């Protein structure tokens, strides 16, 4: 194993635990994320996540689970959990839960570093390559997402001249090496469409909707459905996206659902309804940069 932290991640992702428990415990014990941050990643209350972590630790203790670096032939059975850990570490870096800034570059860089090591360790695993490509595409926009005053800049308003073209080119090279069509591959393909649009109006939203259709079929979840609805809104209009969002179940406490709904209502001129959704997003959001953005939008729609 070429890196101590990567070896610890594989060690903690022990198959004696359910995958979600493996991922949560590894995020806490190795990646150093707080229970609050992990709960946000899993879209559950902090108390629920705290109880899950306690149960996972108790199971390890009671069953006498041996923690040792697995031999090479056992790495594949732990790969899904390891990929989930790296994905969620990167996400916490890309949009922090409660840090005083939107982006934690240290977490983004560490997740990419570990993903690169994993791609070297398991070069024939397409999802490992796809996750690395996904991170590279997203990270290429990191410095364009924050204004000089620290405020959030949405994708459509970013200065694309600030995007890191070397990262995009690296993402392209990595993605070409990945075969098959897994969940990370589809997400990387979506990120690549964004990365190669020179202007917002050149974004191929129809292609993005097609990719989300495949992602929903392969790995259905309310969050994927929300992202698909946002893409449909860009391809076919706000009303089409709203009708899809209003049919999504299980995300009433997810601030990004209310933020997406508010934005589509605003675009459709339904300011009073948009204001209500912005208030709901504001009540649920924890990152101060995102909260400030919702407050500005709320003042605009009155």
The string of pLDDT tens digits covering residues 4-61 is 899 999 998 988 889 999 999 999 999 999 999 999 999 999 999 999 999 999 988 8
pLDDT for res 270: 96
pLDDT for res 137: 98
pTM (2 d.p.): 0.93
pLDDT digits (tens, 9 = 90+) for 119-164: 999 999 999 999 999 999 999 999 999 999 989 999 999 999 999 9
pLDDT digits (tens, 9 = 90+) for 86-115: 999 999 999 888 766 788 899 999 999 999
Say if residue 281's pLDDT is above 70: yes
Residue 275's Cα: distance from chain center in Å?
26
For the chain, what is the mean pLDDT?
A: 94
pLDDT band at 1 (very low <50, low <70, confident <90, very high): low
pLDDT above 90 coverage of the chain, percent: 83
Question: Which is higher by pLDDT, 195 or 65?
Answer: 195
Say if residue 226's pLDDT is above 70: yes
Residue 224 contacts by C-beta under 8 Å, 6 or more apart in sequence? 212, 215, 216
Q: For the residues 184-209, what does the mean pLDDT come to? A: 97
């Amino acid at each position: 194993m070429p890196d101590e932290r990567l070896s610890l991640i594989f060690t903690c992702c022990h198959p004696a635990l359910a995958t979600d428990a493996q991922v949560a415990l590894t995020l806490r014990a190795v990646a150093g994320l707080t229970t609050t941050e992990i709960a946000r990643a899993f879209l559950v209350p902090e108390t629920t996540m705290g109880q899950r972590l306690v149960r996972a630790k108790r199971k390890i203790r009671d069953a006498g689970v041996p923690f040792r670096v697995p031999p090479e032939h056992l790495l594949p059975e732990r790969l899904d959990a390891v990929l989930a850990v790296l994905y969620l570490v990167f996400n916490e870096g890309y949009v922090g839960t409660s840090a005083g800034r939107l982006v934690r570059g240290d977490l983004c860089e560490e997740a990419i570093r570990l993903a690169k090591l994993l791609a070297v360790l398991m070069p024939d695993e397409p999802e490992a390559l796809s996750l690395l490509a996904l991170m590279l595409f997203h990270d290429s926009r990191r410095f364009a997402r924050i204004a000089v005053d620290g405020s959030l800049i949405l994708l459509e308003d970013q200065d694309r001249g600030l995007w890191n073209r070397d990262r995009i080119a690296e993402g392209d090279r990595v993605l070409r090496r990945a075969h098959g069509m897994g969940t990370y591959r589809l997400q990387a393909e979506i990120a690549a469409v964004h990365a190669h649009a020179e202007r917002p109006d050149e974004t191929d939203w129809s292609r993005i909707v097609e990719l989300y259709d495949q992602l929903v079929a392969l790995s259905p979840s309310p969050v994927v459905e929300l992202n698909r609805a946002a893409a449909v809104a860009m391809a076919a209009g706000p009303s089409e996206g709203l009708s899809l969002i209003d049919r999504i179940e299980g995300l009433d406490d997810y601030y990004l659902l209310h933020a997406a709904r508010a934005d589509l209502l605003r675009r459709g001129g339904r300011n009073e309804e948009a204001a209500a959704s912005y208030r709901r997003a504001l009540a649920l959001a924890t990152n101060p940069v995102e909260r400030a953005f919702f407050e500005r939008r709320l003042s605009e729609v009155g």
